[in-house]
Every structure is written in C-alpha cells, then in structure tokens.
Amino acid sequence: MVIHVITLFPSMFKGFIDSSIISRAIDKDAVDIRLVDLRSFGMGPHRIVDDTPFGGGGGMVMRVEPIHNALKGIEGSAGHVILTTPRGKIFKQDDAFRLSKEDTITIICGHYEGVDERVSELFVDEELSIGDYVLTGGEIPAMAIIDAVVRIIPGVLGKNTIITGDSHYTGLLEHPQYTRPREYMGKAVPSVLLSGNHKEIQKWRRMMSLKATMDRRPDMLEKTSLTEEDILILKEDG
C-alpha cells in the first residue's frame, strides 16, 4: 500500500514513521509512506501557499494551485484522495477497514482557516475528521488515519495480536484486560479469568464489553446488532 501525505510540516511525521508499528510495516514492505512538502509547490519566489479569503474575514485560506501541483507531482496515481478537515465525516473503524483495501491513498493536511473549496470540488474523494474539535492543522488527523489503516494490513501486527477484539471492531468497547501480578494494591484479577474455562471467560468478556459500552458509549449500542442474551445482560445490569 502506498500512502502519500501532502503537508506543510513533513518533519512532524519523522518520529511517527520511525517508530513502532509504522516502522515495522515499512520494513516488511507492507506500506510505503511518501511525504510531499506542499511548500515546495508554493507560488512565486516565496513559495506562498495561502491567501486572504474573498469576501473578507480573518485568517488565511490555503490556495488551490499549490495543492493541485502537489497532486500532479505525485509519481504514479494519487489514488483515493482525502482532505482532513473539521467539517469532514467522522473517521470510524469501518473507514479504516475500507481504506486498508485501497492500493494508494493521498491525504491532504488542511491548515489555517480552511482550504479553497475548489480543492474538494475538483480533486478530493472524501473529507474526514477525527473528532468534533479543531486542531492547528491536519497532520495529527493524518497520523491517526494512517495508524488505524496500517495496523489492519495483513502481516503488519504480530501473530499474537488479534484485532477482532479491539474496541470498535465489533461495535462495542473492549472488555477489561489483566496480566501479572494476580493481585496488586488489594485489586485482584477476576477469578473467571484464572479458571481455564474458556466458555465462561468468553461469556464474562462479552458481558463486560456490553456493560462498558452501555456506561461509556450508549450511542454505540444503537448501531450494534445485539443477541437476545446481550439484551438480557443489559437488562440485568439495569
């Protein structure tokens, strides 16, 4: 998979790319992340990438020409083009799975007061946001999207890592996890996890997952297919 990132601050991605899962994915040739410095496509001797908005108002708007030139400068196809913007669709796990099936994606990191609307009209396939808040720029959202997508690519995670139990994979939050020691500061690992009874362990984990979702993200339950047993567990929990 090839991921292009069009950004004004390529140096922000160095630690992200050089560490942990992303680095291993690159080493395994599972993904190729290519940073495109938007400033090098800026206008004139000063490499200008923004301008004041027509109609007045504060702040600056990213110009269409540098972004278009950056897209044209990409070797091969830009593939599926994404713009990170607060007005975009909220990025979810389903989007990560969908994007992980693309051969090539290009993420344009938004900045300033926004991006000239013609960028979206002419070149962008979808706009994505990572939450209902505003960041200084689109680099952090781009990293979040890349991380969520890359870890799904087959062979990236270790063989002992099971992504199907992750929060949001099943539409529910993940159940509590424990490891050694069995007791710490008066808090003991639930006995069912030490029982060796895998059927009861799975039942307990499902129950804890349902309860955590009901307590912390009840909105998720409305979009999840629940079994009769799930509904009974939720009723018993109040």
CATH number, domain at 195? 1.10.1270.20
- Does residue 160 sit within a domain? no
Higher pLDDT, 195 or 158: 195
* Known catalytic membership, residue 113: yes
* The token pair that represents 87 in the structure block: 């007005």
Assess whether 63 and 174 both reside in one domain. Answer: no
Give me the catalytic one of 65, 95, 102, 113: 113
Judge whether 29 counts as a catalytic residue.
Answer: no
Mean pLDDT of the chain: 93
For residue 235, what pLDDT is reported?
85
The average pLDDT across 103-118 equals 95
Verify that 133 and 222 share a domain, yes or no.
Answer: no
Tell me: pLDDT of 14 over 90. yes
Q: Which of 146, 40, 34 is nearest to 84 (CA)?
A: 146
Residue 161, pLDDT > 90, answer no
Q: Is residue 45 part of a domain?
A: yes
User: Helix 93-100 vs helix 139-150: angle between axes, to the nearest 10 degrees?
Assistant: 70
Output the six-digit token pair for 76.
Answer: 């091969």
Lowest mean pLDDT of 4-13, 193-202, 226-235, name the range.
226-235
- Which of 4, 175, 164, 189 has the alpha carbon at shortest distance from 80? 4
- Would 157 be classed as within a structural domain? no
Listed residues 100, 116, 150: the one ending a domain? 150
Active-site residue flag, 86: yes
Domain count for the chain, please give it: 2
Q: Say what the pTM is.
A: 0.88
Of 37, 86, 205, 206, the catalytic one is 86
- Is the residue at 165 inside a domain? no
Spot the catalytic one: 166, 174, 205, 230.
Answer: 166
Q: Per the domain annotation, does 30 fall within a domain? A: yes
Question: Are residues 86 and 58 part of one domain?
Answer: yes
- Mean pLDDT is lowest, of 42-46, 80-84, 152-156, 157-161, for 157-161
Q: Is 163 inside a domain boundary? A: no
Claim to verify: residue 146 and residue 35 sit in the same structural domain = yes
Tokens of 37: 């410095």
Are residues 207 and 124 part of one domain? Answer: no
Question: What is the pLDDT at residue 58?
Answer: 86
Length, in residues, of the chain? 238
Mean pLDDT on 31-37: 98
For the cut 70, the answer to whether the pLDDT of residue 162 exceeds it is no
Question: What's the confidence (pLDDT) of residue 167?
Answer: 55
Helices H / strands E in the chain, number of each: 9, 9
Same domain, 119 and 198: no
What is the rounded average pLDDT of the residues 98-123? 96
Domain with 206, as residue range(s), is 170-236
**Is 155 within the bounds of a domain?**
no
Which among 119, 150, 181 is the end of a domain? 150
Among residues 10, 66, 127, 151, which one is catalytic?
151
Q: What is the CATH number of the domain that holds 109?
A: 3.40.1280.10
- Residue 27 scores a pLDDT above 90: yes
Domain membership of residue 156 (yes or no) is: no
DSSP H/E element including 108: strand 104-109
pLDDT band at 238 (very low <50, low <70, confident <90, very high): low
146 plus 177 within the same structural domain:
no
User: What are the tens digits of pLDDT across the range 129-151?
Assistant: 999 998 999 999 999 999 999 99
Q: Are residues 69 and 9 in the same domain?
A: yes
